[in-house]
Amino acid sequence: MPIDLVDAAKERKIRYFLISYTDLFGTQRAKLVPASAIGGMAKNGAGFAGFATWLDMTPADPDLFAIPDSDSLIQLPWNPEVGWLAADLWMDGKLVEQAPRTLLKKLMATAADEGFEFKSGVECEFFLIAPNGEAIADASDRQSKPCYDQAALMRHYDVITEICDCMLALGWSPYQNDHEDANGQFEMNWEYDNALVTADRHAFFKYMVKAIAEKNGLRATFMPKPFSNLTGNGCHAHISIWKDGTNLFADDKGELGISRLGYHFIGGVIASADAMCALTNPTVNSYKRINAPRTLSGATWSPNTVTYTGNNRTHMIRIPEAGRFELRVADGAANPYLLQAAVLAAGLDGIKNKRDPGKRLDINMYTEGHTLTEVKKLPLNLLDALRALEQSQVLRDYLGDFIPSYLKLKRDEWNDYSRHLTQWERDATLDC
């Protein structure tokens, strides 16, 4: 039963609500609404000018209304008088088809019609950096292999535990926090759930981490590759399909404990991988992570080819145990809703068309991958990914009117980047 936000405000002593939505570029937009007005906002929505955010709209379009989903209510643990709400976008009495949250909900309804519940978890990596963004926050974090460094982790104990305490208070069941492979980089894990719940929590997590870092005089970034010599920020997704409480990917008799349906899902992801990258790796900077040379630690920990394997972290898809797989291509810039939507669309296509994922490869892709001649490469840059998305009939069929809107805005972003003259170009070309 939906939460009555007026009653919730009184019972929980909430003074203000953040009515929030995530636009096509993953930026969170919000209005701060006093509790005295939440009854009307819950019914009619908070008004926005869509063109003023990253949505495919014009200044002539009518008002955009963000109607909060009361079930998504999160009371800010570090400021309990504020409640955060994920919202669905409406215009002229209709849901906005290009809105990322709407898109994911639509796809999950399609899956539900087939009897499937899509569950997922995400591993969010981020850097704690100086407020000016020029260096990591901890000057003592200098090991060439800093992954799991206990001392560096504990030097940021106050920040990491404050974030983890918030997740505990919210009932997310966080279970581990660590220093990751790059200097200044961290990862925090919480339990998987229904994909919409995971996407809402992912969106809130990014806001929460940035807010708590700022409160502690630091800055947090999920940028895919903020430092050229260090491992980038991934956002690995763990995927499974369920029905009536049963994991349909799990099969004791299946290879690596994965069912035939699970392998068809993986086949769909492999078939659409290059087009998916436009959504899972959505920025110019994203391709400096998945196509990076060896980093200071000795490995990039990101894929550049479309392959799957068992418990082997050098491939795009890893099957670490029975009943699930890990997609390792997505990065920290991925829109929480579009990440889930892209994976589900590709997977549903794989199930529908019984796609064969091909031969599993158990080699070290970082040392032997160059010997393979018949595997598909991931896009080299954002433009290649956008072209693949444009040509993907599968994603067009599942994502519909969202595709042209997204392509339009992302091509504008690519063109803006292309007009930018870098210092490297001047250094390499002035004397040509």
pLDDT tens for the 432 residues of the chain, in order: 789 999 999 999 999 999 999 999 999 999 999 999 999 999 999 999 999 999 999 999 999 999 999 999 999 999 999 999 999 999 999 999 999 999 999 999 999 999 999 999 999 999 999 999 999 999 999 999 999 999 999 999 999 999 999 999 999 999 999 999 999 999 999 999 999 999 999 999 999 999 999 999 999 999 999 999 999 999 999 999 999 999 999 999 999 999 999 999 999 999 999 999 999 999 999 999 998 888 988 889 999 999 999 999 999 999 999 999 999 999 999 999 999 999 999 999 999 999 999 999 999 999 998 888 889 999 999 999 999 999 999 999 999 999 999 999 999 999 999 999 999 999 999 999
Tell me which residue has tokens 């296509």. 349
Q: CA dihedral in degrees (276, 277, 283, 284; nearest 10)? A: -140
d(CA 192, CA 199): 10
pTM above 0.85, yes or no: yes
d(CA 310, CA 120): 19
d(CA 140, CA 132): 18
Spatial neighbors of 169 by CB under 8 A, at least 6 apart, are 77
Count the Cβ atoms, other than its own, within 10 Å of residue 250: 17
Return the sign of the alpha-carbon dihedral for residues 271, 275, 280, 284: positive
d(CA 195, CA 202): 10
> How many helical (H) and strand (E) elements, i.e. helices and strands, does the chain have?
15, 17
Which helix (H) or strand (E) element contains residue 410? Answer: helix 402-418
